[in-house]
Structure 1
Amino acid sequence: MKIRIPVYRPTIEEEELRAARSVLESRWLGMGALVEEFEKQTAAVIGARHVIAVSNCTAALWMTLQALGVKAGDEVIVPSMTYVSTPQAVLAVGAKPVFCEVREQDLLMDPEDVARRITFKTAAVIAVHYGGRICDMSALRRALGGKKIWILEDAAHAFGSRCTEGYAGTLADAGCLSFDPIKNITCGEGGAIVTGDDALAARLRRMRNVGVDTDTWRRLSTERPWYYEVSETGLRNVMADMNASIGLAQLPKLERFRQRRLEIVRQYDEAFRELLGIQTLDHEIEGVFPHNYVVRAGGGRRDRMIRELAQRGIGTGVHFIPCHMQPLFAAPGVRLPVTERLYEEIVSLPLASDLTQEEAAEVIAAVREFANGGN
């Protein structure tokens, strides 16, 4: 069965097409003036001191952990209900990911369980803002009990989300954003690191460019544009102007995209609230930019629901397979009963900034039919 309504899709309009064409015609495709402008505009949107654009959010997580000094022998607490990029970044710096539970009502990191998993080896905690909802950062800080432990935001789902403290990505020692094809806005591919620390930002700018102190674009205006110095370890993790051009076209549409997704979330919530066997999450949507819409199908019916919606051409997803259940990360005796139970029930339904009313109505009708006929 062909999927007609995918669970995710990017919203690409004429502005993005013109922007990409302009970069191609300029013949400067790599990191240059447009990346710098994208960083400035992104920082202005979220109220950040520094935004460092990079190749993707996974690179952002790895670079930030390394720049903060997280190393072999350290432990980093992360929720198991996240994409594998989060613990992979921990492994990449030689540290050990320690998985914690999420809260049943919203799939966000459980600060009480974080507190139980802190040891003398704990160097950092990664707060994953699942689905665009922001973790309880005040409770997380209390859970650390005044210990010198870095807090890093994995805000891959949450660009544009805000709470009383500020925007996602600006609420901890550093934050990491994603602009891949299915995120709240897209650059085609890309990520960014957010920080208020001048020294950390300077180091990260070198790290993203194989440790070179000045990038090629900036060197063009010097007397010796061929000369460079390497003062830092690093890999090639830059964003290109091609990607930044798409992001610059998307940034002015951020609030429009957010409002459309909020409309769909409200429609879904209203339609599914009383359905037998279908449970919605706690969608506190004030200030949120919803990234995905998750329901729970209990009683062992989740996979059947996925199949039946697929037969009607409606895509779904499971976000995510808990990381502690993956062969690479599995540890003997580690059980996370809340996370494991949720994994057996969760289904992501289509949510996109250009999802039409007709498509949303079709999704609602399909879920209702499943619920009413699959008791």
Structure 2
Amino acid sequence: MIPQLGEEEAQAAAEAVRSGWVAQGPRVARFEQDFAATVGAGHGVAVSSCTTALHLALVLLDVGPGDEVVVPSLSFIATANAVRYVGATPVFADVDLDTGNLTVETIDAVRTARTRAVIAVHQGGVPFDTAGLRKAADGWGVGLVEDAACAAGSTAYGQPAGAGAAIAAWSFHPRKLITTGEGGMVTLDDAEGAARLRRLREHGMNVSAADRHASAQPVLEAYLETAYNYRMTDIQAAVGLVQLGRLPGLVAQRRALAARYHELLADIDGLVPVRDPAYGQTNYQSFWVLLNPSYGVSRDEALAELAGRGVSARRGIMAAHLEPAYADMTPGPLPVTERLTRDSLILPLHHALSADDQDFIVGILRELSGR
């Protein structure tokens, strides 16, 4: 992933610096409003990363010691880590082979009386079944946190992936479609919850630093609860506002590149590329391919051959339960998760990728398949 950054972003950041307001301020507030409107949410709360967004989401749901939170193992490790931040226990559920996402069935298979919440990931930008999972979570009486780190620009049931979410967490890391360098956002429709999140990200203060400085009279702030320093800067938000304007074009470009990959890969036996689910469209934040046993070589052999010929492909999405940090856990069987993390690889897909680049990459994959 190569972020698309240009002179507009540089100028926006410079203007923020020249303004003298470089910490959380008016640009952050505008970015929150514009991003929330883009994803169909009532409120946006900008934070320092998607990891801190997930943490605050669980704090808002009052998840803590003694509680269990169902998460996919097939996700960046931050998804599971956020559960441990609040003292709860992550419980790993398996995923759907086609989308890489949790389903109602895989969650229900590991859900217990101690389950307080579920963190469902729109994996690699592929939306999960929002209608199905939201209905099930309501029926179970558990909170649903939507990890939309990769999902800006994806849709489900004709709406942006985050529209209608009780609470969703987003990432603006450089590997995502739009970036602020580092940074994240929580979106939700609940005004009272959004107000608390704004306090939680700023040490629990009952008035923001921006509002305090804007007041003509002295403001004696109070600190209402033990909280965090999870703020975004106005420099980051300035870049984010420009990036947000690029989002429709970026999605269209990535989907066009993905469509061409699908055409080129169609006749290669044993290679299955990620596709849109029936209920939505992915932004193709990641374009992964699954290598079946009928393919000519293993995933690791394919990665080595691609790297040796100058192609920067990556292994498939990690599985947290296989990492040393979670060696103390003994999850139930996760066959689909383990197959996807073992047998899939992520192909280059970015704004600078040319047709010749795609032809070269697919040519190598065709050679390796023996066809």
Deviation at 1:78, TM superposition (A): 0.7
Question: Does the CA contact (< 8 Å) of 2:183 and 2:236 recur in 1?
Answer: yes
Question: Does the CA contact (< 8 Å) of 2:130 and 2:156 recur in 1?
Answer: no
Deviation at 1:95, TM superposition (A): 0.5
Residue 316 (structure 1) aligned with residue 309 (structure 2): no
Distance in 2 between residues matched to 1:354 and 1:47, nearest whole Å: 29
Deviation at 1:277, TM superposition (A): 2.9
Gaps of 5+ in 2: none
Residues 92, 117 of structure 1: CA spacing in aligned structure 2 closer, same or farther, 3 A cutoff?
same
Deviation at 1:367, TM superposition (A): 2.2
The partner residue of 1:125 within 109, 118, 125 is: 118
Q: TM-score, normalised by structure 1?
A: 0.93
Distance in 2 between residues matched to 1:168 and 1:225, nearest whole Å: 42
Residue 297 (structure 1) aligned with residue 291 (structure 2): yes
Residues 25, 135 of structure 1: CA spacing in aligned structure 2 closer, same or farther, 3 A cutoff?
same
Distance in 2 between residues matched to 1:78 and 1:316, nearest whole Å: 26
Residue 72 (structure 1) aligned with residue 65 (structure 2): yes
Q: Secondary structure at the match of 2:34?
A: helix
- Partner residue, 1:163: 156
Distance in 2 between residues matched to 1:45 and 1:120, nearest whole Å: 37
Distance in 2 between residues matched to 1:83 and 1:229, nearest whole Å: 36
Once the two structures are aligned, what percentage of the paired residues are identical? 35
Residue 60 (structure 1) aligned with residue 58 (structure 2): no
Query: For residues 62-102 of structure 1, what are the alpha-carbon distances to aligned partners after superposition, in whole Å with 9 as ceiling and x for unaligned?
Result: 01101110110000001110000001000000000000011
Query: For residues 144-181 of structure 1, what are the alpha-carbon distances to aligned partners after superposition, in whole Å with 9 as ceiling and x for unaligned?
Result: 47121001100001012122263222333200011111
The partner residue of 2:282 within 288, 295, 304 is: 288
Residue 103 (structure 1) aligned with residue 74 (structure 2): no
Question: Does the CA contact (< 8 Å) of 2:316 and 2:340 recur in 1?
Answer: no
Amino acid paired to 2:91: V
- Partner residue, 1:37: 30
Amino acid paired to 2:288: V
- Partner residue, 1:307: 304
Deviation at 1:228, TM superposition (A): 1.9
Distance in 1 between residues matched to 2:232 and 2:167, nearest whole Å: 19
Distance in 1 between residues matched to 2:321 and 2:115, nearest whole Å: 18
Greater CA drift, 361-370 or 116-125: 361-370
Question: Does the CA contact (< 8 Å) of 2:137 and 2:143 recur in 1?
Answer: no
Q: Secondary structure at the match of 2:147?
A: strand
Deviation at 1:237, TM superposition (A): 0.3
The alignment of Structure 1 onto Structure 2 pairs a total of residues equal to 366
Query: For residues 7-53 of structure 1, what are the alpha-carbon distances to aligned partners after superposition, in whole Å with 9 as ceiling and x for unaligned?
Result: x1111121111111212222321111110110111122122110000
Deviation at 1:329, TM superposition (A): 2.1
Gaps of 5+ in 1: 1-7
Q: Secondary structure at the match of 1:120?
A: coil
Distance in 2 between residues matched to 1:187 and 1:145, nearest whole Å: 34
Amino acid paired to 2:287: Y
The partner residue of 1:234 within 221, 227, 235 is: 227
The aligned runs of 1:330-341 (5 Å cut-off) are 330=327, 331-332=329-330, 334-341=332-339
Distance in 1 between residues matched to 2:370 and 2:10, nearest whole Å: 43
Distance in 1 between residues matched to 2:314 and 2:143, nearest whole Å: 32
Deviation at 1:372, TM superposition (A): 2.9
Residue 135 (structure 1) aligned with residue 132 (structure 2): no
Residue 16 (structure 1) aligned with residue 9 (structure 2): yes
Residues 91, 165 of structure 1: CA spacing in aligned structure 2 closer, same or farther, 3 A cutoff?
farther
The partner residue of 2:238 within 245, 259, 265 is: 245
Distance in 1 between residues matched to 2:14 and 2:331, nearest whole Å: 54
Question: Does the CA contact (< 8 Å) of 2:46 and 2:186 recur in 1?
Answer: yes
Q: TM-score, normalised by structure 2?
A: 0.94
Distance in 2 between residues matched to 1:32 and 1:366, nearest whole Å: 49
